[in-house]
Structure 1
Amino acid sequence: MDADAVVVGSGPNGLVAAVTLARAGRRVLLLEAAERFGGGLRSGELTLPGRVHDLGATVMALALASPAFRELKEVGSLKGVEFAHPAVPAAHPLDDRPAVLVHRDPRRTAEALGRDAGAWLATVGATARAGFPLVELLLKPLGPWRVPPRTFAQAARFGVAGALPATTFARRAFSTVEGRAAIAGMAAHSMLDLRSPISAGYGLLLAALTHLVGWPLVRGGSQVLADTLVAELRSLGGEAVTGHRVRHLAELSAPTVVLDVTPRELLAMADLPAGYRRRLERFRYGPGVFKLDWALDGPVPWRDPAVAGAGTVHLGGTLEEIALSEAETAAGRHSPRPYVLLVQPYAADPTRGGHTLWAYCHVPNGSAVDMTDAVETQIERYAPGFRDRVLARHAMGPAELEAANPNLVGGDIGGGLASLTQFLRRPVWSPAPWRTPLPGVFLCSSSTPPGAGAHGMGGWQAARLALRSGARP
């Protein structure tokens, strides 16, 4: 194909970039090294025949909230994709009291927090009430913005709280074990030491999304979303090829090249100016994850039955316990009682061939330690008899995850450390960090703003930048 634009990599960002360019009239060639499209959106039979497991992302709150995917939905590019909502977006079990349930309705959530009801509504609730304009501002930290003036005031209030370490914010804003634990579970998605600046911001945004859009999953598996976008690209005249690894940019001849790869891959693929190369070499990757998938003979036997309706479950106990676990990981150690992020797709989607389940814990980057027992012990802590339900399990440590997807460097599913420094320079400081010094070459992975998540914003920003600066067909 004589392409106007080549997109390398078919994760959420690469797919959004490819479709955005094709919708603008560019002839697009999408190249994927793996045998299936999707990157972090792939699904497969990891345990038993007929059981559909998501290899990467399952919960799609950011997809519903992001300007990139909202735009694709408006123009009909997501036809056939059904987002299924669990009865409860998220739950946080505790040892000696009822689980914290985070409902779509912020007031229902707050009512169960007792003394912290007002605090929840004033922080998480206020973020949710600010709506899509605030989310757009947060997911487009460098613009372009079309945001009402009052949203900047709301963003300033969010920033005052969000800039804090999650531990500081939780203790200042909340007085109950339940309220503090709920925020800790949300903030730990960041894979940061919860004593780090801006860790509160990640928790606040994710918690607010439960109220604004919910935490749904794609019916049939995340692969459905990837395949739909590939089909849309082809309907627009684009070409999509799997099993084609690009080892050097010299292999490509197109006016525009968009790369859904991390800085490490870009360094290997391109002859870069010395200064830019040195800046990329300073890019830091974050902790890895150890992921487990299970096929069960029935639902997880939660001690608190209310947890059964939750799509996502945060396991780790109190704020203090979760903070300790994440601090251990950040220091390069393996927590004996890790924070565990668990997803039970069957709570929303009965089409996946039975009761499938996945969970991961955070580990030092590149860890080779088998965390199966530690993860399952945490589940048993809140669901006695869980192991008796297991028909089959599949484990993937950092090495296996990176082998399946080279963007997961050392098992880092976030595309790089989500620290304050790398929030400001991701992967380098620039008003347009998606642009590289090479003419017509753009970077769009989660190593670019706004970072991790199935939101497609890196691809959307890179494609829009390419369209403004590239040659027309």
Structure 2
Amino acid sequence: MTRLDAVVVGAGPNGLSAAITLARAGLRVQVLESHAQVGGGLSSATLTLPGFVHDYGSAIHPLAAASPAFRTWPLHAFGLDWVQPDAPVVHPLDGGRSVTLERDLYATADGLGADGPAWIRLMKPLLDDWEGLLDDILRPLPRVPGHLLTLARFGIRGLPPADLLGRTLFRTPEARALWAGLAAHSILPLSTPGTSAMTLVLALLAHAVGWPFPRGGAQSLADALRAYLEFLGGEVITGVSVRDARDLPDARVVLVDSSPRVLLDILGERAPTAYREALTSYRYGPGIQKFDYALDGPVPWADSRVGRAATVHVGGTLEEVTASEAHLDSAVSDRPYVLTAQHSLFDPTRAPAGKHTFWAYAHVPGGSAVDVRPQVEAQLERFAPGFRDRVLACTVTTAPQLQAFSPVFHGGDVNGGRGDLWGLLSRPVPTATPYRTPVRSVYLCSSATPPGGGIHGMSGHHAALAALKDLFGVRRGE
């Protein structure tokens, strides 16, 4: 066989993104995927009953809609159709109340009452230059930022712990709860320095691009990436497991979209001892336990306005969310924070007529298989009385089952590694080009490299750019 220019191990969003970047540069690229379909955590399946389409991993995709790579590629020509719910996020509160993060900045401020002006002061300077800010945030470090003033504003607000900044900036329980629900996406205690950064990014994206999802399921985005790659001449082979270097075809460069531990297996004894030790001790974050429901009707929220959003943060007040996330490495709260999505309200292709899907997860200690469904459903009943009566079927996916599905989710960690400041600066090791391994022509391109977790494809894109520069003498703007 003719030698390949590049082989990519893993057809998750970063693997596909890396392959597309290489194919756009004219390289002959082959992607190897162990599953029967591409996508990894960006995939969909019938997990409960016939006719119900559930997202196996990620469900709502603001980062994908805003991704500097994805938004420049013609993915709509290959089947991608974004669904925009009426509102990006709703956070229910006791007493049949809720608070809404609207697409419009000023509509959000109006809903926050006395905290509206504070929300505008916080978000408007970032929103005015959101594309430049996102480009800087999603670049590997160290790089000279292209939008220094906006990045500095972001950094000043992003470095404090989310619980402290929320209590400092806002006075009303509604604004504080909205802030806490966003902050809990970090899957870290809200007292952790830097958790305000994730909070700001998610709020910014709500105003800039919304919180959309692909029509027909997350699989639609993965399939569009595959179709675009194949249009460029790339090849995808599914049902192929790569356990070590002997399973790889002959290629000038290998990019691995998987966990550092899988990378170690592929590198084998070629990797220096120090690098092997660093990857062996790589820090993962807490895990998740996921719930896919088939429902006999829409979720019966006490406040009907919660039905305006596909994404619902269930957790109560800032104080309650902070308490629920305080001991993620060792325990699950009796009142956990639950991230939920109700796609079928806005995409009827996801369920039979009159029926609905419901996607939810709660945070658990890494690797934990303890059943937290009772606590999760108690929280749902708290804000949606009668929820259990709507359940036709439920499939529970534990943290170990997530890892068994894909080693990227080590211990059920969906962010590719602990997302604190050190975890972001040193993934997988502290170096100027973290994608490059000590073994020439082997690169890591998964979420265990900058900029980290989320469906944006930028880890794969940057890894491919590094390989193009190192091995092919091709320079592309980063």
Q: Provide the rounded CA distance (Å) in 1 between the counterparts of 2:470 and 2:7.
A: 15
Match of 2:281 in 1: 282
Match of 1:52 in 2: 53
Shift of 1:270: 1.4
Shift of 1:11: 0.8
SS of residue in 1 equivalent to 2:326 = helix
1:374 alignment partner AA: Q
**1:259 equivalent among 256, 261, 267:** 256
Answer whether contact 2:310 2:342 (CA < 8 A) is retained: yes
Answer whether contact 1:444 1:459 (CA < 8 A) is retained: yes
Shift of 1:274: 1.1
Match of 1:273 in 2: 272
Answer whether contact 1:43 1:222 (CA < 8 A) is retained: yes
Answer whether contact 2:101 2:206 (CA < 8 A) is retained: yes
Q: Provide the rounded CA distance (Å) in 1 between the counterparts of 2:421 and 2:324.
A: 20
Q: Provide the rounded CA distance (Å) in 2 between the counterparts of 1:415 and 1:7.
A: 18
Q: Provide the rounded CA distance (Å) in 2 between the counterparts of 1:45 and 1:53.
A: 6
Answer whether contact 1:72 1:78 (CA < 8 A) is retained: no
Shift of 1:430: 0.9
Match of 1:337 in 2: 335
**CA deviation digits over 1:83-122, x for unaligned, max 9?**
0000011000011362001110011011111111011111
Question: How does 1:218-367 map onto structure 2 within 5 Å?
Answer: 218-252=214-248, 253-271=250-268, 272-330=271-329, 332-354=330-352, 355-367=356-368
SS of residue in 2 equivalent to 1:116 = helix
1:341 alignment partner AA: L
Shift of 1:144: 5.5
Answer whether contact 1:137 1:143 (CA < 8 A) is retained: no
**CA deviation digits over 1:245-286, x for unaligned, max 9?**
111124322111110011121122212111211222221110
Q: RMSD of the alignment, in Å?
A: 1.5
1:233 alignment partner AA: L
Match of 1:368 in 2: 369
1:450 alignment partner AA: P
Answer whether contact 2:138 2:458 (CA < 8 A) is retained: yes
Shift of 1:128: 2.3
Question: How does 1:380-399 map onto structure 2 within 5 Å?
Answer: 380-399=381-400
**1:174 equivalent among 170, 179, 187:** 170
Shift of 1:79: 3.0
1:192 alignment partner AA: L
1:441 alignment partner AA: V
Answer whether contact 2:7 2:253 (CA < 8 A) is retained: yes
Matched, 1:160 2:156: yes
1:270 alignment partner AA: L
Q: Provide the rounded CA distance (Å) in 2 between the counterparts of 1:326 and 1:367.
A: 15
Shift of 1:145: 6.0
Q: Provide the rounded CA distance (Å) in 1 between the counterparts of 2:58 and 2:212.
A: 11
Q: Provide the rounded CA distance (Å) in 2 between the counterparts of 1:387 and 1:125.
A: 41
TM-score, normalised to structure 1, is 0.96
Shift of 1:126: 3.1
1:46 alignment partner AA: L
CA gap 1:78/1:449 in 2 versus in 1, 3 angstroms: farther
SS of residue in 1 equivalent to 2:106 = helix
Answer whether contact 1:129 1:212 (CA < 8 A) is retained: no
TM-score, normalised to structure 2, is 0.95
1:405 alignment partner AA: S
SS of residue in 2 equivalent to 1:255 = strand
CA gap 1:457/1:312 in 2 versus in 1, 3 angstroms: same
Answer whether contact 2:90 2:311 (CA < 8 A) is retained: yes
Match of 2:36 in 1: 35
SS of residue in 2 equivalent to 1:265 = helix
Match of 1:217 in 2: 213
1:126 alignment partner AA: P
**CA deviation digits over 1:303-339, x for unaligned, max 9?**
0000011110001101111011101213x11211100
**CA deviation digits over 1:4-55, x for unaligned, max 9?**
1000001110011111111111111100011211111110000111111000
SS of residue in 2 equivalent to 1:25 = coil
Q: Provide the rounded CA distance (Å) in 2 between the counterparts of 1:265 and 1:43.
A: 24
CA gap 1:431/1:126 in 2 versus in 1, 3 angstroms: same
Answer whether contact 1:77 1:232 (CA < 8 A) is retained: no
Deviates more, 1:28-37 or 1:117-126: 117-126
CA gap 1:437/1:341 in 2 versus in 1, 3 angstroms: same
Match of 1:430 in 2: 431
1:369 alignment partner AA: V
Tell me the matched-pair count.
467
Answer whether contact 1:434 1:462 (CA < 8 A) is retained: yes
2:342 alignment partner AA: Q
Answer whether contact 1:77 1:229 (CA < 8 A) is retained: no
SS of residue in 2 equivalent to 1:448 = coil
1:404 alignment partner AA: F
SS of residue in 1 equivalent to 2:217 = coil
Q: Provide the rounded CA distance (Å) in 1 between the counterparts of 2:472 and 2:457.
A: 23
Q: Provide the rounded CA distance (Å) in 1 between the counterparts of 2:112 and 2:233.
A: 53
Q: Provide the rounded CA distance (Å) in 2 between the counterparts of 1:174 and 1:130.
A: 24
Q: Provide the rounded CA distance (Å) in 2 between the counterparts of 1:352 and 1:346.
A: 5
SS of residue in 1 equivalent to 2:97 = coil
Shift of 1:146: 7.2
Match of 1:103 in 2: 102
Q: Which runs of 5+ in 2 are unaligned?
A: none
